[in-house]
Amino acid sequence: MSRLYLSDAETAILWFQQADLSGPDDPGRWTWLQGLGRALLHAGRPEEAVAVLRTLVECHPDWPFSHGLLALALAWCGDVAAAQERFGEFVRRAPHPAARAPGRLVPVPVTRLSAAYRACDARILERFAELEEGVLTG
């Protein structure tokens, strides 16, 4: 995650892919799947992120952000209907808007995040707001 926070999404992707080699039965798999999905989004590769984030939802369906991140990836791929459906599940699992802020995923102070990471986080917030308002157009 540190590589991602420092705007080195491609290196983060490699590390998360390496971690995933431990296999589908590893109980911690969801942690690097969410990191890999986020890194793919930061790298501008939402189609790849969709596949990873679908697996994340299967691994850890109770974690609200698995649904939120998948909704985001689907939205960035232009699949508005699927994005809205998945976002509805995100809202159902995290009903309070403050609980849906992407900043909740980051355990480091915002001042330690790269400008590029913060910019992507801002785009995530914008897309979440569009999903929330139902104004997403693709």
pLDDT for the residue 92: 94
pLDDT for the residue 138: 54
pLDDT for the residue 53: 97
CATH topology of domain 2-133: 1.25.40
Block means of pLDDT (10 residues each) for the chain, 138 residues, are 88 94 87 94 95 96 93 94 94 85 73 87 82 72
pLDDT for the residue 136: 65
Quote the pTM value.
0.87
- Alpha-carbon distance of 134 to 54, in angstroms, equals 22
What sign for the dihedral angle of Cα 30, 38, 44, 6?
Answer: negative
pLDDT for the residue 104: 65
Q: What is the residue type of 84?
A: Q
Domain boundaries, the chain: 2-133
- Alpha-carbon distance of 105 to 4, in angstroms, equals 12
- DSSP-assigned states of every residue in 12-56: HHHHHHHHGGG-TT-TTHHHHHHHHHHHHHHTT-HHHHHHHHHHH
The tokens for 23 are 């296999």
